[in-house]
Amino acid sequence: MSISSLALFLLGPPRIERDGQPIRVPLQTTFPLRGLAACGYATDPRAERAYEWLLAQRLPDGAWPSGMAAGVYGYVGGYRRLAHSRWGCRSNTTGALICFALHPERRTSAEARRALNLLLGRETREAHTLGYEVALLAGAEAPRGFITFFARFNLALILDLCSRIGATQDDPRVADLLAFVLSLRGEYGLWQYLPRPQISRCLTLDLMRSISRLDENVDWVEMEPRTPFKPYPKRERRF
């Protein structure tokens, strides 16, 4: 069985169960679908059915949940919360959005833009995670966990999604994100991922490609307010 055939087989109905109830977890579909879309199979009829399934799991606010079993949404850990979504999971939303960003037509859809707006609402500047996704794809980092695959908020990945989906620098959030990324550039013109310095050239290529695409985008509307993010905010005591 070829790799593409195996990936298309994995796009079948989710088979995770708990107490005899099937659990619909978007990430279970987004992982094989991402690989297929990256290899040019995004418009295959079987892949298109996977995209439609993802849209059916989407929350009314535009995010994707951790999962659903017997009509109940799964728990969302603080580090995976989205600023403007009650049940939205950042890991599942990121995974689904990557798939849409790799589709030649769906990448600029209203659903993709809404999900990107939600991710941009997470106002944080984390320099130490810049390039983690590139390190994962290059094999320099080992993936850790399933639901925690996108646990780190990687600004290089967000910038890549902005460039593919159509965000522009007219959005203050995108402009500030770009300015922050540019400020991390080294004296020799390279960006470094300090835990794995050997991927510096790969990270630099990825960022330069994303930055060049931003200049080509022209149609983007900001919808989400800027919100400082804390994964586990302190709660006021009642007494």
Residue 227's CB is within 10 A of a number of other CB atoms, namely: 13
The answer to whether residues 29 and 107 belong to one domain is yes
Shared domain for 110 and 129, answered yes or no, is: no
- Please indicate, yes or no, whether residues 93 and 139 belong to a single structural domain of this protein: no
Do 148 and 118 belong together in one domain?
no
Residues 110, 24 within the same domain = yes
Q: How many domains does the chain have?
A: 2
Q: Which residues of the chain have pLDDT under 70?
A: 1-23, 70, 217-218, 221-224, 228-230, 232-239
Which H or E element spans position 161? helix 155-165
| Burial of residue 151 (number of CB atoms within 10 Å: 0-12, 13-18, 19+) | middle
Residue 110 belongs to domain spanning: 1-122
Q: Does residue 58 lie within any of the structural domains?
A: yes
Q: What is the pLDDT of residue 121?
A: 87
pLDDT confidence of residue 1: 45
| Residue 70: per-residue pLDDT | 67
Based on the fold, state whether residues 23 and 137 are members of the same structural domain: no
Handedness of CA 205, 135, 170, 125 (dihedral sign): negative
- Is 201 in the same domain as 100? no
- 5 close to 41: Cβ distance less than 8 angstroms: no
How far apart CA 195 and CA 173 sit, in angstroms, is 27
Residue 172 and residue 58 share a domain: no
